[in-house]
Chain A
Amino acid sequence: MASQSTARQASNTTGAVKAEKLLELKNLKMHFPITKGLLHKLVGRVKAVDDVSFTIQEGDTLALVGESGCGKSTLGRSIMRILDPTAGMINYTEENNTVVDLASLDGKSLRPYRQAIRMIFQDPQSSLNPRMTVFQIVGEPLKRYNIASGSELEDRVAGLLKNVGLRPEYLRRYPHAFSGGERQRIGIARALALNPRLIIADEAVSSLDVSVQAQILNLMQDLQAQYHLTYLFITHDLSVVDYLSDRVAVMYVGKLVELGTRAQIFTQPKHPYTEALLSAVPKPDPRLRNTGARIRLTGEIADPASPPTGCYFHPRCSYSQDRCKVEEPVARDIGDGQRVACHFAEELQLKGVEEI
């Protein structure tokens, strides 16, 4: 435990000096082929992630939001290289400042980076093997990477459990003996085992009860401060995003429609889709009921296999004009680092969230 934390501290100090971009996505595409018939003839493509670019600074939390089916989880999985991206670059900055394109690596050469980038999954029920004890689950990555064995392994796993607020006596228990919140803590301990630098949390708190959700969110913030972690937080819950993110990326049908700091996205959104998302969040205050104009999106989220022409959002957009139907908007910087893919970003007066 002691050796582990000093190792982390050492890496933290070097990391803090750099404080530069840890990950940069350049025009990342993840297309899935649609095949038909006996010969698997290619009849189309599902553009789950289409031309996404953004950067994550070290120590930051970037939240990736959007409706289900917008490609946010696929994007997370592509960065983890669980999936093989169709095109584009995933530039990861190593601790010695060399930049590696993870998208071009395969198999064995990816192994060291799998240590640095870890994932926390949504459903703690199905992401833990029911036939393995907590010790085996959390200890497995340490064993796989020949970092610890024997009694040292046991000590380190116990230390990890303590770090996430679980009692080390629970080492020999199976996942079924834990509640949802505790299982999510086990998942976090497993992700932390290899001293990662980037953690991709895919809807990590979505299936938890509100009181437990608050505990896990606080824990994740503590761990971030303690170990100088960088988070890519994938979620559909905007109140959680508001609480913990530094920057926010909004996705719609595989494309990044808006990117900015938390304050920019929440108080001065520039894309109509962001505005609609914010407006749809139920506010926990009955006095706000029926106040202000609510935006209701009509229609369905577009099919990524046959998206509409022009701007993908135009069939549901209340500000849409003729130009939106034919010309696809390109994401552009509109000042202060806020990037928007909308033709009329400068002209529209959109409503954000009011401070309460």
Chain B
Amino acid sequence: MIDKKDEIILEVKGLQTHFFTDEGVVKAVDGTDLQIRRGRTLCIVGESGCGKSITARSILQILDKAGKIVAGEILLRRDSDEVLDLAALKHNSKAMQSIRGKEIALIFQEPMSSLSPVHTIGNQIIEAIQLHFDVDKKGAETRAIDMLKRVGIPKAETRLGSYVFELSGGMRQRVMIAMALSCQPRILIADEPTTALDVTTQAIILDLIKELQKDMDMTIMFITHDLGVVAEIADDVVVMYLGKVVESGDVNTIFHNPQHPYTRELLQSIPKLGSSDRGRLQPIQGMVPHPFARPKGCSFHPRCKSFMPGVCDQIEPPAVTLSEDSSVRCLLYGGVERDQETNLSSKEV
């Protein structure tokens, strides 16, 4: 691989994915921008319903029937330096199929429901390998065994003939990872891969993902709602709220100098292990609005402690660049016309 550390390998620009249901249109992803740099781990955090999983599914175009990408670009930089807009491809096109699994692979949250219950794990991994590589069954099998060994499954040769129900939760997730990595993807999207696991197993799986990333020179997009996991694994963080990226930056900035009120309150609301302050938790007031009743202006304004009447409920905040790789979508930092020029990085208003 050519030495192009830190180049942007995947860029999502103004992505809008809407679901057309009988009751109306759900704007699940409503103008998301994000960038992933080569070899780094980007974590997408947010509460359920914020569109983090739909963003990932949009990238691979594996949305439900009702879901459509209505606007935006998903730019993938390939090895040949050619840039491909995945949003422009048809979901069933040859090009898309060759990217899925081969260049971008996905690990799901619940391995029990995302692996086939009626095929052996060997069959499933071999199928994926043969789809993307010109190898015979024997070759694919060797490769599958190597991969299972690589993710730490004991007696990989015999495990090839096992069914999913014969494995424990942690082992299933290892199989899922082995399958995703069997075609050596350049980008791995992991959608809540450890949420269903025990903390002890979670710690091991996170270690495994980090180790494999180093060995295989992989770029990772990691979706989670667990801020502890983010602190453990992320290089860069994107915080989403109601289909939009409200703040992005490197992991230290997000945790120790968060700018957006939502990020701040999210960090304050979690119980911390070993915290000397045993007072009350500070929850975010109110709850995530119904998808059909998105608030006008900044969508966080009904829950925000820094709400400015007449401003936040009227103007939709634009993304404000704070430094080279951090930006925030909040009117405290600019976007109100009258002082847009002067107020780019200050906190007053």
Contact = CB atoms under 8 A, between A and B. Distances in A.
Interface of A: 67-68, 179-182, 209-215, 217-218, 221, 236, 238-240, 242-243, 266, 276-289, 294, 296-297, 300-301, 353-356
A211 B303 CA distance: 11
A209 B278 contact: no
A221 B229 contact: no
A356 B269 CA distance: 16
Contacts of A243: 271, 275, 278, 281
Interface in B275-325: 275-276, 278, 280-284, 287-288
Interface in B196-239: 198-204, 206-207, 225-232, 234
B266 A221 contact: no
B270 A281 contact: no
B267 interface: yes
B231 A284 contact: yes
B150 interface: no
Given A238-B199, A284-B231, A217 B271 contact: yes
A217 B229 CA distance: 21
Contacts of B270: 210, 214, 239, 284
Interface in B224-281: 225-232, 234, 251-252, 255-256, 265-267, 269-276, 278, 280-281
A282 B203 contact: yes
A286 B255 contact: yes
A67 B201 CA distance: 9
A116 B93 CA distance: 62
Given A296-B203, A356-B272, A356-B276, A282 B281 contact: no
Nearest to B251: A286
A183 to B, nearest CB: 11
Interface in B167-208: 168-171, 198-204, 206-207
B341 to A, nearest CB: 34
Nearest to B235: A286
B284 A218 contact: no
A355 B207 contact: no
Contact of B199 (A210, A215, A277): A277
Interface residues of B, number: 47
Contact of A221 (B204, B267, B280): B280
Nearest to B194: A282
B281 A214 contact: yes
Nearest to B282: A214
Contacts of B281: 214, 217-218, 243
Nearest to A219: B283
A356 B199 contact: no
A287 B256 CA distance: 9
A281 B271 contact: no
Nearest to B265: A211
A214 B204 contact: no
Contact of A242 (B228, B265, B271): B271
Contacts of B278: 243
Contact of B203 (A181, A280, A289): A280
B288 A280 contact: no
B157 interface: no
A4 to B, nearest CB: 25
A276 B47 contact: no
Contact of A67 (B200, B265, B274, B287): B200
A355 B277 CA distance: 9
Given A218-B280, A276-B200, A300 B269 contact: no
B283 A218 contact: yes
Given A182-B287, A221-B280, 9 more contacts: A209-B47, A210-B269, A211-B283, A236-B199, A243-B278, A266-B274, A280-B199, A296-B203, A296-B204
A160 B107 CA distance: 43
Given A209-B48, A282-B228, A297-B200, A242 B283 contact: no
Contacts of B230: 284
Contacts of A181: 287
Question: 7 shortest A-B CB distances, which residue pairs?
Answer: A282-B228, A214-B283, A353-B274, A243-B271, A214-B281, A211-B284, A209-B47
A180 B234 contact: no
Nearest to A273: B200
A213 B198 CA distance: 18
A355 B274 contact: yes
6 contacts: A210-B227, A212-B283, A213-B283, A278-B273, A281-B199, A300-B171
Which interface residue of A211, A236, A277 has the most chain B CB atoms within 10 A?
Answer: A211
Contacts of A240: 271
B50 to A, nearest CB: 9
Nearest to B283: A214
B198 A68 contact: yes
Contacts of B201: 67
B269 A289 contact: no
B275 A242 contact: yes
